[in-house]
Amino acid sequence: MAERSLVFPAAEFRARARRLRAAMNEAGLDALLLTMPADIFYVTGFLTRFWESPARPWFVVVPARGEPVAVIPAIGAALMGRCWIDDIRTWNAPDPRDDGVGLLVDTLAALTPQDGRIGVPSGAETHLRMPLADFRRLEARIRPRLLVDGTDVIQPVREIKSEAEIRMIREICAIADRAFARVPDIAAAGVPLAQVFRDFQIALLQEGADWVSYVAGGARRDGYGDVISPAGMRPLASGDVLMLDTGAVRNGYFCDFDRNFAIGRASDKARRAHAALFQATENALARMRPGMKAADVHRLLSGALADAGHAPLCGRLGHGLGISLTEWPSFTPLDHTVLREGMVLALEPGVELSPGRIMVHEENIVLRAHGPELLSRRTPAELPEILP
Amino acid sequence: MAERSLVFPAAEFRARARRLRAAMNEAGLDALLLTMPADIFYVTGFLTRFWESPARPWFVVVPARGEPVAVIPAIGAALMGRCWIDDIRTWNAPDPRDDGVGLLVDTLAALTPQDGRIGVPSGAETHLRMPLADFRRLEARIRPRLLVDGTDVIQPVREIKSEAEIRMIREICAIADRAFARVPDIAAAGVPLAQVFRDFQIALLQEGADWVSYVAGGARRDGYGDVISPAGMRPLASGDVLMLDTGAVRNGYFCDFDRNFAIGRASDKARRAHAALFQATENALARMRPGMKAADVHRLLSGALADAGHAPLCGRLGHGLGISLTEWPSFTPLDHTVLREGMVLALEPGVELSPGRIMVHEENIVLRAHGPELLSRRTPAELPEILP
């Protein structure tokens, strides 16, 4: 076969469907309707970059009794046919008269009772990846069945990674570790940041990433302005702190961590901030345990930063990851999700050094019974310097 | 500035907002509410790969009178502040109590009359990039204002590219042309397809792509099985036809075209199919004119393939592109969109050589008054051979 086969044996996917059915039965749902790439990959193993085209909706229905059904554009039949799903229904998309809604209505009607409740992920970190007008048509045509929020079914299942998933995330983290180790060969005073971004993506691919879905970063004297901007043409200058952050992908699984480098000698200010970020992460690595809440991790990180005399960044200080760059939960004071064994998480403390100048630090871990196990190679305690 | 500045001068964006306001006034809408990355980039110039994280919703409101307002997570304030938008309202996301809905309700309420109609793109090629539960809350809280379909406002405006946009798309097409020219150095019998995909992405970056959002392809004897699969580890073999398709990005603009290569000597079957695809494209290049419909282009392409004795692929045979890998319209028998000067389009005829074995061919053009102008370098008439 020229084509790639399933990332995992079918047993992995059967177990996921079983867990989803159990959660549905507990929640009183008769089916889940999934439209997002990550959810569809999770249930079926259907891995493609074709999601980049917004032209066609894709549907997977997971009934509370029975195996998942794919309701998809005909262009995806061959690839879905190499996954473990037996029941694949297709239409010739795009079709402006009916772009799969009729086929989806028939499928849901056959799989759920008339007074059924169908879960559609509708909460935090979810979107509806289909035209809203088609969703309204679906809602009208499926009555008296109700489309209700299914987030509480899919979130707790996806949050716990299997050992097979953890191996995949460890593999892409190791790829990123090797690429980060090459940054001193890529970045130097005088090199435009845009060139550093390009060469870092090349390094990630050379080290084994299938593709690079996310690279961000920044470089300014003693910190950077934000962590989401694309790179500009300004050359790196001695005294800059360079940060690179990546969500590279292998076999559909993401890493998500960053590294900092001083261009030339690190200033005391930058070294102290890096040390505070390192220590905050040490604090969380030593103390995180299953049973804590996401908000507790925020407290561990922000408390350590405050103890070191630094103002923690607003917003979240970490999150889940795996088949998306970011997943539930969020390390904020407001997220009371209970942490459990098998969660894969990014610890991401950040500080504001001066108005508009920040530094961040990120590691990926899997939570075990005894505490965190690192998936990324631990960043050095001292801010590394890239010297001429 | 380390950070990249706006891709275009502010005048380009002001003109876009003007065109959207004119379309809104014609449609009787009081505002547009935008949530998708492409729409938000189109109006504001806000360019980031941070969309990869599904954690936070982002909103841009374009009122029928007045300039656009950004209602966004605080993490994006610095980058949006370097765009041309003056009115930027932020909240500290993610916030499980209210993730921007209240701020958005206040914004919409201040900008539209009580009986106002607010357009939300809801038709083909659109999604709602916010949690559905939050959209339902918004809909309830904004009453008696109505959230109605805004596709007919945004689609005709985005479909016509400015000369500045056409220059950007021409630039990324030229980058992809140079990367495709290097495929004979990358692909050969014995090289696994996954390695070809990796090296092709590296070539795209080296030739100037900012990032590579899409690579797909296939390689089998006399064609390939589908055009959306990720690459597997099967080595290329003499007799294969290799196809690579890319949507690479520079300054936020996509190319989307593919190229075919025979590994070793091309068979008569593969050469004939390639010639038929080439001729079908020639037919469309010679005859497409503004005023035709999208369905007419489907007829030009599929008619020429049928004349050459080939069965056209089901599904669409091309589409728009620009700030998404694919955009409206679709070259299907059912799409009656009228073609206009300034549309950037992918011509993408495909044939089925035998059950489960296809070949496709793709060029990017801009439609001028006199007909198509190529943006990709025309593929050679003869299927190129990669010989040992």
Interface predicted TM-score (ipTM): 0.97
Tell me whether residues B213 and A325 touch, CB distance under 8 A. Answer: no
Tokens describing residue A172? 């892409």
Q: Does A220 touch chain B (CB under 8 A)?
A: yes
Domain with CATH 3.40.350.10 in chain B: 10-159
Give the closest residue to A336 by CA, choosing from A327, A344, A328: A328
Tell me whether residues B131 and A122 touch, CB distance under 8 A. Answer: yes
pLDDT digits 0-9 by tens, A184-205: 999 999 999 999 999 999 999 9
Q: Which residues in B lie closer than 8 A to residue A121 (C-beta atoms)?
A: 132
d(CA A44, CA B219): 24
Tokens describing residue A303? 């408390």
d(CA A268, CA A264): 13
Contact by Cβ (8 Å): A68, A155:
no
C-alpha to C-alpha distances, A232 to A191, A198, B7, B251, nearest whole angstrom: 11, 11, 11, 10
d(CA B120, CA B101): 15
Q: Which residues in B lie closer than 8 A to residue A302 (C-beta atoms)?
A: none
Q: Per this entry, what is the length of chain A?
A: 388
Prior bond of B68 cis (ω within 30°): no
Q: Does B354 touch chain A (CB under 8 A)?
A: no
Domain with CATH 3.40.350.10 in chain A: 10-158
pLDDT digits 0-9 by tens, B181-222: 999 999 999 999 999 999 999 999 999 999 999 999 999 999
Tell me whether residues A198 and B218 touch, CB distance under 8 A. Answer: no
pLDDT computed for residue B341 by the predictor = 98
- Whether A3 has a pLDDT exceeding 60, the answer reads no
CA atoms within 13 A on the CB side of A354: 7
> Which of 3.50.50.60, 3.30.465.10, 3.40.50.970, 3.40.350.10 is the CATH number of A10-158?
3.40.350.10
pLDDT computed for residue B229 by the predictor = 87
pLDDT digits 0-9 by tens, B355-383: 889 999 999 999 999 999 999 999 999 99
Predicted confidence band at A1 (pLDDT cuts at 50, 70, 90)? very low
Tokens describing residue A40? 């569809």
Element (DSSP H or E) covering residue A346: strand A344-347
| Preferred mutation among B7, B39, B98, B132 to probe A, highest tally of A CBs within 10 A | B132
Tell me whether residues B54 and A122 touch, CB distance under 8 A. Answer: no
pLDDT digits 0-9 by tens, B227-275: 898 898 899 999 999 999 999 999 999 999 999 999 999 999 999 999 9
| B-contacting residues in A 76-95 (Cβ below 8 Å) | 76, 78-79, 92-95
pLDDT computed for residue A5 by the predictor = 67
Tell me whether residues A124 and B94 touch, CB distance under 8 A. Answer: yes
- Whether A356 has a pLDDT exceeding 90, the answer reads no
> Which of 3.40.350.10, 1.20.120.550, 1.20.1250.20, 3.40.50.720 is the CATH number of B10-159?
3.40.350.10
Give the closest residue to B46 by CA, choosing from B54, B55, B37: B37
C-alpha to C-alpha distances, B383 to A49, B222, B231, B247, B347, nearest whole angstrom: 26, 12, 22, 22, 18
Of A76, A129, A234, the CB nearest to B2: A234
d(CA A91, CA A55): 14
Token pair 């919409």 is at which residue?
B108
Contact by Cβ (8 Å): B100, B69:
no
pLDDT computed for residue A4 by the predictor = 54
Return the HEC string of A49-100: CHHHCCCCCCEEEEECCCCCEEEEEHHHHHHHHCCCCCEEEEECCCCCCCCC
Q: Which residues in B lie closer than 8 A to residue A52 (C-beta atoms)?
A: 213-214, 247, 324-325
pLDDT digits 0-9 by tens, A48-75: 999 999 999 999 999 999 999 999 999 9
> Cα–chain-centroid distance for residue A141?
34
Q: Per this entry, what is the length of chain B?
A: 388
Of B5, B48, B133, the CB nearest to A228: B48
Distance from CA of A162 to the nearest CA of B (A): 22
Count of CB atoms situated within 10 Å of the CB of A324:
26
pLDDT computed for residue A269 by the predictor = 95
Q: Does A54 touch chain B (CB under 8 A)?
A: yes
**pTM strictly above 0.95:** yes
pLDDT computed for residue B5 by the predictor = 67
DSSP state string for A150-176: -HHHHHHHHHBPPHHHHHHHHHHHHHH
Give every CB contact of residue A2 below 8 A, 6+ residues apart in sequence. Answer: B193, B218, B219, B220, B224, B225, B232, B234, B240
Distance from CA of A114 to the nearest CA of B (A): 23
Distance from CA of A141 to the nearest CA of B (A): 17
Over residues A113-135, the mean pLDDT reads 98
Check residue A339 and report its DSSP letter: P
pLDDT computed for residue A2 by the predictor = 39
Tell me whether residues B213 and A47 touch, CB distance under 8 A. Answer: no
Of A49, A234, A325, the CB nearest to B230: A49
Distance from CA of B148 to the nearest CA of A (A): 9
**Mean model confidence pLDDT for chain B:** 96
| A-contacting residues in B 273-302 (Cβ below 8 Å) | none
Tell me whether residues B94 and A332 touch, CB distance under 8 A. Answer: yes
Tell me whether residues B314 and A92 touch, CB distance under 8 A. Answer: yes
Provide φ and ψ at B279, rounded to 5°.
Answer: -65, -35
pLDDT computed for residue B227 by the predictor = 87
Of B216, B218, B240, the CB nearest to A49: B216
Tell me whether residues B213 and A55 touch, CB distance under 8 A. Answer: no
Q: Which residues in A lie closer than 8 A to residue B214 (C-beta atoms)?
A: 49-50, 52-53
Distance from CA of B300 to the nearest CA of A (A): 19
Q: Which residues in B lie closer than 8 A to residue A238 (C-beta atoms)?
A: none
Over residues B73-85, the mean pLDDT reads 95
Distance from CA of A263 to the nearest CA of B (A): 14
Count of CB atoms situated within 10 Å of the CB of B355:
6
Q: Does A354 touch chain B (CB under 8 A)?
A: no
Q: Could you tell me which residues are beta bridge partners of residue B330?
A: B319
Per DSSP bridges, beta strands B311-312 and A385-386 are unpaired
Q: Which residue of B has its CA nearest to A95?
A: B334
d(CA A197, CA B210): 8
Residue scoring higher pLDDT (B314 or B348): B348
Cα-only R_g, chain A:
23
Q: How far apart are the first and last CA of chain A?
A: 48
Domain with CATH 3.90.230.10 in chain A: 163-386
| B-contacting residues in A 173-202 (Cβ below 8 Å) | 193-194, 197-198, 201-202
Check residue A259 and report its DSSP letter: E
Q: Does A127 touch chain B (CB under 8 A)?
A: yes
Per DSSP bridges, beta strands B31-34 and B117-120 are parallel
Predicted confidence band at B226 (pLDDT cuts at 50, 70, 90)? confident
> Which of 2.102.10.10, 3.40.50.2300, 3.90.230.10, 3.40.50.970 is the CATH number of A163-386?
3.90.230.10
Element (DSSP H or E) covering residue A297: helix A294-307
pLDDT computed for residue B1 by the predictor = 36
Count of CB atoms situated within 10 Å of the CB of A65:
11
Interface size between A and B, measured as CB pairs under 8 A: 263
Contact by Cβ (8 Å): B153, B62:
no
Element (DSSP H or E) covering residue A215: strand A211-221
pLDDT computed for residue A226 by the predictor = 85
Q: Does A238 touch chain B (CB under 8 A)?
A: no
